Structure 1
Amino acid sequence: MGSVIKINAITVPEGAGDELAHRFAARAGAVDDAEGFEGYELLKPTDDRDQWLVLTRWRDEDAFEAWVNSPSFAEGHRSAVERAGGDAPKPVSTHSEVWSYEIAGGSQPG
């Protein structure tokens, strides 16, 4: 079996997208050393949608679950202000849900 794909679909109100991107940039690399992690992309909508997508690839479901249940996951989802002892910033999203997929086909340039 190939990679497991997890997509976090995050609903972001108009005007809050730049802050979401900034927060992701501030914690870039937080998951890079997780066992079985293969990469991620933050996808910004280019039409009138309000859902941003965080697409992550994992070796298998066990690797993803191990990361979600790790101290690194909790720490990576805290802001720099929280890590310094301050209060959590106001959320920039109104809803999110995680979708799970596996690769069933595709192609690579040749």
Structure 2
Amino acid sequence: MAGVVKINVLTVPAEQREELERRFGARAGLVESEDGFEWFELLRPVEGTDQYLVYTRWRSEEDFQRWVEGSMRQAHSGGGRPAASGATLWSFDVVQQAGPKATGQD
């Protein structure tokens, strides 16, 4: 298997969008050094929805769970009012993947 993807769907009122993006921009960066972490993206909605997507890819479910039980709890324990009014976690196994084809040019 090629890993797992976790997508956190955050419902964010219009007046909280800047705050959410600021918080992610200022985040401690703990996830990047976690064992098994492979990728992160914060996706801003363009039209028709108030839901942001937080995309992370992990080597395994166990690596993700270890992060949830450890560093994620620390990163989210700062208190304060949440920028999102709701959250849902989607989970996927990566069964196929592809990247750009090499062009042979340097």
What TM-score do you get using the length of structure 1 for normalisation? 0.84
| Mapped contact 2:5–2:93 kept (Cα < 8 A) | yes
Residues 1-110 of structure 1 aligned to structure 2 (within 5 Å)? 1-70=1-70, 72-79=71-78, 88-110=79-101
Counterpart amino acid of residue 4 in structure 2: V
Counterpart amino acid of residue 73 in structure 1: M
Gaps of 5+ in 2: 102-106
Q: By how many angstroms is 1:106 displaced?
A: 4.1
Shift >4 Å, 4+ stretches: none
SS at match of 1:32: helix
User: What is the identity percentage for the equivalent residue pairs of Structure 1 and Structure 2?
Assistant: 42
Greater shift in the superposed pair: 55-64 or 89-98:
89-98
| Mapped contact 1:11–1:94 kept (Cα < 8 A) | yes
Aligned length: 101
| Mapped contact 1:9–1:97 kept (Cα < 8 A) | yes
For residues 48 and 30 of structure 1, the distance between their equivalents in structure 2, rounded to whole angstroms, comes to 32
For residues 29 and 44 of structure 1, the distance between their equivalents in structure 2, rounded to whole angstroms, comes to 19
Counterpart amino acid of residue 52 in structure 1: Y
| Mapped contact 1:31–1:76 kept (Cα < 8 A) | no
For the aligned residue pairs, the C-alpha RMSD in angstroms reads 1.3
For residues 39 and 67 of structure 2, the distance between their equivalents in structure 1, rounded to whole angstroms, comes to 13
1:16–1:51 CA distance, 2 compared to 1 (3 A): same
What TM-score do you get using the length of structure 2 for normalisation? 0.87
